[in-house]
Chains A and B, each alone.
Chain A
Amino acid sequence: MATTLTGLLRLYYWNMKLSVSRSMAYRLDFIIGVLTSILFSGTAPFLQYIFFTQTRGYPGWNLNQIMLFQGILLLWLGLRETLFGNVMDVAHQLVRKGDFDRLLVKPYPPLGTLLTSGFNLKGIGSLISGGALTIYAFSRLDVMPSPLQVLLALVSIVCSIILYMGVTTLLCTMVIMLVQVGRLEELVDRILGFGDYPINIYPRFLQQLFLTVFPFAIWAYVPSQALLDRLGSDIVMAVIGCFTVFAISVWIWNRSLNRYTSAGG
């Protein structure tokens, strides 16, 4: 198990190096892409700024707190894009060309090989703007989080990665089973988008849902609540939810892999 994990990390490192080299092939486009990504990641905080300056915003948050939320959300989106941004493209290409079969005879588990092929340097734009916005929000809030609060925020980010790996695993399962999944990813993205707002805007049953069964609140709401020292016992259920989603996804993947009949060529 430990050897496999070390091997997968090494594989990830090599894939990362290759991805950086590929990005550098069209340098100007890459630079424009990163600058655009920074600009693009500014749109959601801009909208929130408009909401909170032109109206009273929504309950439970003020402008500086919502900027912290947006900063963490951008950090998460950047991290997600950087770590796993290419996974789905790779899965599609492998399955359509019939190359997925090759993964089955490689020394590492096919799912691990897929998940380690996701590095995408373009996510760096969101990471930069997310980091800058988080620092700005903290300076405006004039609070210094305690080590425990930082630890809780880090735990929720690790759980976010686990949850996202679960979601990606489910999507990869659909790709290997159905080959052509059309706009299913867009549908999943729309559903995941519910985690891009503080859960206070949703009715109570949805708030509970996003903290337990579909714990999307883990990637921005929970860490920002932790850093603002407003986190209750919510994190426990959310953490359990993340690991459960991941475990179920891997189970479904393994079952589907047994029924895989190959495609493409």
Chain B
Amino acid sequence: MFFLKAVQTNMKQFLQYRNSFLISIAIHPFILLLNIFLYRSIFAHNGAEQIKGYTLTEMIWYTAGITFVWIFIWNFAERRISDYVVTGDLSIHLLKPINIFWYELSAAVALRMTGILLEFVPDIIVYSVIYPPSFLTALSLAKFVIVCVLSFCLFFLINYLIGMTAFALKSNSGLNEFVYISMNLLGGGLLPLDFYPAWLQRICDFLPFKYIFYYPIQIFLNKESVNSWNEWGSIVLTQLAWIAGGYLLCHVLWKLAIRKFCAVGG
């Protein structure tokens, strides 16, 4: 009950900044246009219908898919938590009737619900007008949305863990950037992992990042390798396993960190 109330309150707050969200309608098409020029040039120069199993349309929409995944998952829990630790505001949050984990999750959920409403929906319409997605079906879109919700949970847990490093590091922006880059690079947040050499793909297999970007975008593109219910189910189950592991880790580390936490001022 507290959680839903917190989501509602946070959402009211974020909707006050709707113009900031709506500016994405102007920003995101530039990313699409740049990628259209880039991949048109590459495909024309290669004289091929497909490169690494991707058609021109799929490659362009892969990059659009990256933007969409970001819209679903982005939150700044890591910054908020490290701010609480550094400023000492954490002591105030510890007195609140809602656990800080759920409070931060509610803020992130509210932020993303606003984002989906004001960024994803207009974006997909604008993108479809600029470059129609011939591959997209209602079912693949629905499957994509479900895995993106799980990607959001996974990303939130990663952010929460980074936020907790502030107990030891105080300022953790460097570490945050490191994880952000690794996630993009090793999760398919820049380019499909199929373009990578085999040894690098093997490394990516052991990390959770490909379940945040690569697989959701494969589902969005309706690729044959993931469009059976079995494949989709297996991706969802793996995401759930990573989420369970992440949650457990957050819980254990929090218990350890909070014992050493001390604050002055207020």
Q: CB within 8 Å of B: which residues of A?
A: 26, 28-37, 39-40, 43, 46-47, 50-51, 54-59, 182-184, 186-187, 190-191, 193-194, 197, 200-203, 206
Stretch at the interface among B69-77, B96-104, B176-184: B176-184
CA separation between A4 and B44, bound complex, in Å? Answer: 53
Q: Does B196 contact A (CB under 8 A)?
A: yes
Residues of A within 8 A of B44 (CB): 59
Q: Nearest-CB distance from B205 to chain A (Å)?
A: 18
Contact A187 B46 (CB under 8 A): no
Q: Say yes or no: A58-B41 contact (C-beta < 8 A), given A29-B171, A50-B195.
A: yes
CA separation between A186 and B31, bound complex, in Å? Answer: 11
Q: Does B116 contact A (CB under 8 A)?
A: no
Describe A's contact surface by its main secondary structure.
helix
Residues of B within 8 A of A36 (CB): 174-175, 177-178, 181
Contact A201 B171 (CB under 8 A): no
Describe B's contact surface by its main secondary structure.
helix
Task: Produce 1/0 per residue, B21-44, CB < 8 A to A.
Answer: 001101100110010011011101
Residues of A within 8 A of B174 (CB): 28-36
Q: Nearest-CB distance from A124 to chain B (Å)?
A: 13
Contact B170 A26 (CB under 8 A): yes
Q: Say yes or no: A43-B185 contact (C-beta < 8 A), given A30-B174, A187-B27.
A: yes
Residues of A within 8 A of B149 (CB): none
Contact A197 B38 (CB under 8 A): yes
CA separation between A26 and B86, bound complex, in Å? Answer: 12
CA separation between A202 and B41, bound complex, in Å? Answer: 8
- Give B167-224 interface residues, CB cut-off 8 Å to A: 169-175, 177-178, 181, 184-185, 190-191, 195-196
Contact B27 A39 (CB under 8 A): no
CA separation between A191 and B44, bound complex, in Å? Answer: 24
Contact B38 A29 (CB under 8 A): no
Q: Does B45 contact A (CB under 8 A)?
A: yes
Residues of B within 8 A of A37 (CB): 177
Contact B184 A43 (CB under 8 A): yes
Contact B173 A43 (CB under 8 A): no
Contact A183 B20 (CB under 8 A): yes
Q: Nearest-CB distance from A131 to chain B (Å)?
A: 20
- Which one of B27, B34, B45 lies within 8 Å of A56 (CB-CB)? B45
Q: What range describes how many residues of B lie at the interface?
A: 35 or more
- 8 CB-based A-B contacts, threshold 8 Å: A32-B174, A37-B177, A46-B185, A182-B17, A183-B23, A197-B34, A197-B37, A206-B37
Beyond A47-B190, A206-B37, 15 extra complex contacts between A and B, CB < 8 Å: A28-B174, A29-B174, A29-B175, A36-B175, A36-B177, A37-B177, A43-B184, A43-B185, A43-B190, A47-B191, A50-B191, A183-B27, A186-B27, A190-B34, A191-B30
For the complex of A and B, 10 pairs with smallest distance between CB atoms: A32-B174, A33-B174, A201-B41, A190-B30, A29-B171, A26-B171, A182-B20, A36-B177, A58-B41, A36-B178
Residues of A within 8 A of B46 (CB): 55-56
CA separation between A151 and B40, bound complex, in Å? Answer: 34
Contact A203 B191 (CB under 8 A): no
Q: Nearest-CB distance from B40 to chain A (Å)?
A: 8
Residues of A within 8 A of B24 (CB): 183
Closest A residue to B30 by beta carbon equals A190
Residues of B within 8 A of A47 (CB): 190-191
Q: Nearest-CB distance from B24 to chain A (Å)?
A: 8
Q: Nearest-CB distance from B249 to chain A (Å)?
A: 21
Most buried by B among A32, A43, A47, A203: A32
Contact B178 A39 (CB under 8 A): yes
Closest A residue to B170 by beta carbon equals A26
- Which one of B31, B52, B170, B191 lies within 8 Å of A190 (CB-CB)? B31
CA separation between A58 and B177, bound complex, in Å? Answer: 30
Q: Nearest-CB distance from A257 to chain B (Å)?
A: 25
CA separation between A140 and B40, bound complex, in Å? Answer: 28
Contact B181 A57 (CB under 8 A): no
Q: Nearest-CB distance from B162 to chain A (Å)?
A: 12
CA separation between A30 and B171, bound complex, in Å? Answer: 9
- Which one of B20, B40, B42 lies within 8 Å of A51 (CB-CB)? B42
Contact A33 B184 (CB under 8 A): no
Q: Does B51 contact A (CB under 8 A)?
A: yes
CA separation between A110 and B178, bound complex, in Å? Answer: 36
Q: Nearest-CB distance from B190 to chain A (Å)?
A: 6
Residues of B within 8 A of A206 (CB): 37
Contact A202 B185 (CB under 8 A): no
